[in-house]
Amino acid sequence: MIDVKLLLNNFDFVKESLSIKKVSDETLELVFNLANTYKSQLKNLESSQAEQNTKSKLFFEYKKQNKDIKELQEELISLKSKIATLQNDVNNSEIELNKILQGIPNLPDSKTPKGNDENDNIVLETILDKREFDFTPKEHHELLEFNKWIDFSLGVKLAKSRFNVLQNGAAKLNRALINFMLDFNSKNGFKEVSTPVIVNRESMFTTGQLPKFENDMFKIENFIEEEEEYKGHKPKGHELYLISTAEITLTNLYRDTIIPIEELPIMMCAYTPCFRKEAGSAGRDTRGIIRQHQFDKVELVAITTPSKSDEMQEKMLQSASGILKELKLPHRFVQLCGGDLGFSASNTIDIEVWLPGQNCYREISSVSNVRDFQSRRGKIRFKDGKKNTLVHTLNGSSLAVGRTMVAIIENYQNNDGSITIPDILKKYMV
């Protein structure tokens, strides 16, 4: 969530920053007024509680000294009733304030350029030259079907549209890419972690998927079993969801945690299947495996101090790019403008890979600095001397496995429809 103190102290700045993310002035003014009301009510509550403490001490002193306590007792009874009312007002205001805050996106940072949409994004760097073809390159779905590497009809038979069954070379290539990506990122200092792909509502809230994007998530209904507490962590309710990215699980490993500063930075990578409804994307990339309800991804997540988060974003970007360099796939870095940023992101650089069959660059990774937006929601802090400070969290795909396969198939295709396997992957294809 955004910092309420920043909102109260720099309202015009916050209003201007969030206007590009389509947050209305009316919403921010409502939050501003609610925050001020809450602050005032809390101050009155604390003042009354302090008065109650003072008079309670006086009451017991009078009682010991056999002094008349009737008037003081009446005052304490009145104060108790007043405090109960004030506490109720504070609780209600806090609930109302948080409810609105949960739907407000992160602020773009100073490195993020202004702009309304993807047309205002900026290409920062182009890496590797495109291959020159002496024939017209085909799109990946044609090549997959020609080589009998995929069966879309079986995906529909087992589930529904936008699911598929990889076979033969594609199944092996998928596995090879996952193992290669994990090995590459591990050598770059990212600790490999294996996490669940089903999480609770609190985990989804911390990273910003809930409540705003609940309709995009696959929810597991009626999951009921006996709840058990393990090392102080007791499950909260039975609402469970399939993850849309391992960013959710990796970040939430440190939810409600104070991390010793000497343990930072924490750098993790994980392979997981990911699940998205892709609500609102009907008609886009319906052919092939660019946009599926289930897909594989290797994710990078870092947790660090605020002073090191820009440096960490660059490290994550280079790690993801390094995989594409090893695969000899042309790609470019694209700085997203404020209007194209995701809900939780403060700064994002996309990596787009060249697809000759489509004759365009397509996103294959987004490396985002979220700053303290997620750590405030998930109470993730580090101990800096005597002070507990919110960490900065970062996330990035390294990489989306299916889209990397698409890039290999289109860039390594031959005139006869066969596909050459990149040299770096051959040892993983056995």
In the prediction, which pLDDT does 223 show? 66
CA distances from 351 to 293, 331, 374 (A): 21, 7, 23
- Neighbouring CB atoms inside 10 A of 135's CB total 9
CB 404 within 8 A of CB 177: yes
In the prediction, which pLDDT does 85 show? 95
Residue 154, C-beta contacts closer than 8 angstroms, at least 6 positions apart:
164, 165
Strand, coil or helix: 407: helix
| Residue extents of the structural domains in the chain | 4-101, 118-428
The span from the CA of 219 to the CA of 348, in Å, is 28
State how beta strands 380-384 and 387-390 pair: antiparallel
The span from the CA of 298 to the CA of 178, in Å, is 7
Strand, coil or helix: 387: strand
In the prediction, which pLDDT does 317 show? 98
Structure tokens at 286: 């319906």
In the prediction, which pLDDT does 61 show? 84
Taking the domain 118-428, which CATH number applies?
3.30.930.10
Residue 189: which H helix or E strand, with range? none
Answer left, alpha or beta for residue 232, where phi above 0 means left and psi between -120 and 50 means alpha. left
Over its length of 430 residues, how does the chain's per-residue pLDDT go in tens digits? Answer: 999 999 999 999 999 999 999 999 999 999 999 999 999 999 999 999 999 999 888 888 877 887 888 888 888 999 999 999 999 999 999 999 999 999 999 999 999 999 999 999 999 999 999 999 999 999 999 999 999 999 999 999 999 998 999 999 999 999 999 999 999 999 999 999 999 999 999 999 999 999 999 999 999 976 666 555 656 666 555 689 999 999 999 999 999 999 999 999 999 999 999 999 975 455 556 678 998 999 999 999 999 999 999 999 999 999 999 999 999 999 999 999 999 999 999 999 999 999 999 999 999 999 999 999 999 999 999 998 889 999 999 999 999 999 999 999 999 999 999 999 999 999 999 8
| Phi/psi at 365 (5° precision) | -160, 150
Identify the CATH assignment for 4-101 out of 1.10.287.40, 3.40.50.720, 2.60.40.60, 3.40.30.10: 1.10.287.40
Of the chain, the end-to-end C-alpha distance in Å amounts to 47
CA torsion through residues 38, 43, 46, 51, sign: negative
CB 300 within 8 A of CB 91: no
| Phi/psi at 395 (5° precision) | -150, 155
Residue 25: which H helix or E strand, with range? helix 25-64
Residue 266: which H helix or E strand, with range? strand 266-275
What is the arrangement of strands in the sheet containing 219-220, beginning at the earlier edge strand?
Answer: 198-200, 240-242, 219-220
Closest by alpha carbon to 336, among 325, 346, 344, 321? Answer: 346
Tokens 């069954």 locate to 165
In the prediction, which pLDDT does 236 show? 58
Residue length, the chain?
430
CA quadruple 21, 26, 30, 36: dihedral, nearest 10: 90
In the prediction, which pLDDT does 183 show? 98
The span from the CA of 239 to the CA of 201, in Å, is 6
